[in-house]
């Protein structure tokens, strides 16, 4: 179709083009799928313009490292609920992961409480997140034949119109209904302080602002906040459970560290993190082993670029091969092996080993602004789960372990196709610890 595409296959190339030359490589290629799926308000997909920069500034102030620390109590409480759900229904692992993260985000972004897994807030936010599946290249012909957008849904072969309509509805519901619920709660005192509430309060105080534009920014930031860390958290936690099931030695080392530092009578806390180098290394390895976005989000060159003997014309789509970077045997020997020890030296995190977060959360000016929140969420979930649960392979009907093979789903976001496992409390004391903490959360 005449479109120039360059695959960036090494850390050296990615660093040079997407980091050092980010002034001319931070655009986002625009697709007809963005408006068709209701994602025009998702600022992570917007072109590199002043309008995008205004969204970025509004979002960043709430997700800088210091700001992200304010959300840790909510992350801890949602993880305690997650533990109780795993205790009661371990077979519904994936559903519990989604509920736990979504409930925390709804509380932080909108100040709203989520009742249960069937809550409409959760249903709509997850439906909106599904729109990401549309961006798998080749899934919908309309991506390459834009005139198909005008084909009615009743025409044979135009079933995609139904998918798009559902995603557009979900996006507008999140933007309008959930923001309106926050505004109502601010008036009657039924919502807690939240990101949306703070942005709305700023609008009311600053008369010089263009109210209609600022309200659009509030709605778009709200829409994007969920997606900012959802995929990384969902998929990485699923990968973590699978990795523990097939790497019992890693699990035992992590649990030994938790027992020594935290003890048996409480759950781990974010404040323990500096004293848990093996858990920190395990989080890094979970990000590295099976990258959530194997090819990351495409960038676009806004000017002609010459690099290392290559000419890259303006308009070229730049696709970073994140998987190749995180499986480079020179940086990570024996890359297919799940081995947290690669990040340790003398029982401390080795600063000389490249941090996978450098690749897992995007690049340059397009780096994920929710990465600190996602990282803290991964840490507390992994630490708490390992402290109270043993994770082993799934069993067949005769009680024999089922062999597990890492197979990732073929989609924009890479999930394990099968992350079944057996999840049981480490002891009766661990079970009581889960129940006691869940009871305090309910109270």
pLDDT in tens, 366-384: 888 888 999 999 999 999 9
pLDDT-derived band at 167 (thresholds 50, 70, 90) equals: very high
Average pLDDT over residues 380-398: 94
Annotation-wise, does 368 bind a ligand?
A: yes
Nearest to 406 by CA among 348, 322, 335: 335
Task: Decide if 285 contacts 342 (C-beta within 8 A).
Answer: yes
- On the question of pLDDT at 404 being above 60, the answer is yes
* CA pair distance 365, 228, nearest whole angstrom: 14
b vs e for 61-70, b when ≥16 Cβ sit within 10 Å of the residue's Cβ? Answer: ebbeeeebee
Residue 57 sits in a domain whose CATH number is 1.10.630.10
Cβ atoms < 10 Å from Cβ of 298: 18
The answer to pTM > 0.85 is yes
pLDDT band at 146 (very low <50, low <70, confident <90, very high): confident
Taking the CA atoms of residue 122, residue 127, residue 133 and residue 138 in that order, the dihedral angle to the nearest 10 degrees is: 180
pLDDT in tens, 285-335: 999 999 888 888 899 999 999 999 999 999 999 999 999 999 999 999 999
- Check pLDDT > 80 for residue 439: no
d(CA 326, CA 308): 22
pLDDT of residue 429: 97
- The residue ranking higher by pLDDT, 144 or 220, is 220
Q: Give percent of the chain above pLDDT 70.
A: 96
**How many domains are contained in the chain?**
1
Q: List the domain range (segments joined by +) for residue 328.
A: 5-442
pLDDT exceeds 70 at position 80: yes
- How does residue 114 score in pLDDT terms, banded at 50, 70 and 90? confident
Q: What is the DSSP letter of 354?
A: P
Contact 322, 260 (CB under 8 A): no
Tokens found for residue 41 = 């308000």
Six-digit token pair at 412? 């924009």
Instruction: Give the pLDDT confidence score for residue 209 in this predicted structure.
Output: 59
Question: What's the start-to-end Cα distance of the chain, in Å?
Answer: 60
Q: Per-residue confidence at 405, pLDDT binned at 50, 70, 90? A: confident
Contacts of 81 (CB under 8 A, 6+ apart): 100, 103, 438, 441
Q: For the packed helices 93-110 and 179-188, what is the interaxial angle rounded to 10 degrees?
A: 60
Cα separation, 95 vs 351, in Å, equals 35
pLDDT at residue 207 in the model: 65
Task: For 198-235, write each residue's pLDDT tens digit.
Answer: 999 888 777 655 688 889 999 999 988 877 667 778 88
């Amino acid at each position: 179709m005449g479109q120039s595409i360059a695959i960036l296959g090494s850390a050296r190339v990615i660093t040079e083009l997407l980091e050092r030359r980010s002034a001319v490589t931070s655009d986002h290629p625009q697709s007809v799928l963005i408006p068709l799926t209701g994602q025009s308000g998702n600022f992570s997909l917007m072109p590199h313009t002043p309008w995008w920069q205004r969204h970025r500034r509004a979002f960043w102030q709430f997700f800088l490292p210091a700001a992200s620390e304010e959300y840790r109590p909510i992350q801890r409480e949602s993880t305690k609920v997650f533990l109780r759900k795993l205790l009661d229904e371990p077979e519904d692992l994936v559903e519990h992961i989604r509920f736990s993260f979504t409930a925390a985000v709804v509380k932080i972004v909108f100040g709203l409480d989520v009742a249960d897994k069937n809550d409409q807030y959760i249903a709509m936010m997850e439906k909106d997140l599904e729109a990401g599946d549309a961006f798998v290249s080749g899934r919908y012909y309309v991506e390459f034949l834009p005139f198909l957008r005008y084909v009615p849904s009743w025409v044979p072969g135009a079933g995609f119109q139904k998918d798009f309509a559902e995603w557009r509805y979900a996006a507008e519901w999140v933007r309008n209904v959930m923001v309106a619920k926050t505004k109502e709660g601010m008036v009657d005192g039924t919502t807690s302080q939240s990101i949306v509430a703070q942005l709305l309060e700023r609008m009311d105080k600053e008369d010089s602002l263009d109210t209609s534009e600022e309200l659009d920014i509030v709605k778009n930031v709200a829409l994007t906040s969920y997606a900012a860390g959802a995929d990384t958290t969902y998929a990485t936690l699923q990968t973590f459970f699978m990795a523990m099931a097939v790497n019992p030695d890693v699990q035992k080392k992590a649990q030994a560290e938790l027992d020594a530092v935290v003890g048996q009578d409480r759950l781990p806390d974010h404040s323990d993190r500096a004293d848990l180098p093996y858990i920190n290394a395990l989080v890094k390895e979970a990000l590295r082993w099976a990258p959530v976005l194997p090819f990351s989000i495409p960038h676009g060159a806004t000017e002609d670029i010459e690099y290392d003997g290559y000419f890259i014309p303006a308009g070229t789509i730049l696709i970073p091969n994140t998987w190749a970077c995180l499986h480079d045997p020179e940086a990570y020997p024996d890359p297919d092996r799940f081995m947290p020890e690669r990040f340790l030296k003398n029982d401390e995190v080795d600063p000389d080993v490249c941090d996978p977060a450098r690749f897992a959360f995007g690049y340059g000016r397009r780096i994920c602004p929710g990465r600190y929140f996602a990282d803290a969420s991964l840490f507390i979930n992994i630490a708490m789960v390992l402290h109270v649960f043993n994770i082993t392979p799934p069993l067949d009907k005769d009680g024999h372990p089922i062999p597990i093979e890492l197979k990732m789903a073929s989609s924009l976001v890479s999930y394990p196709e099968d992350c079944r496992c057996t999840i049981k409390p480490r002891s009766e004391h661990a079970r009581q610890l889960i129940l006691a903490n869940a009871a305090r959360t309910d109270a």
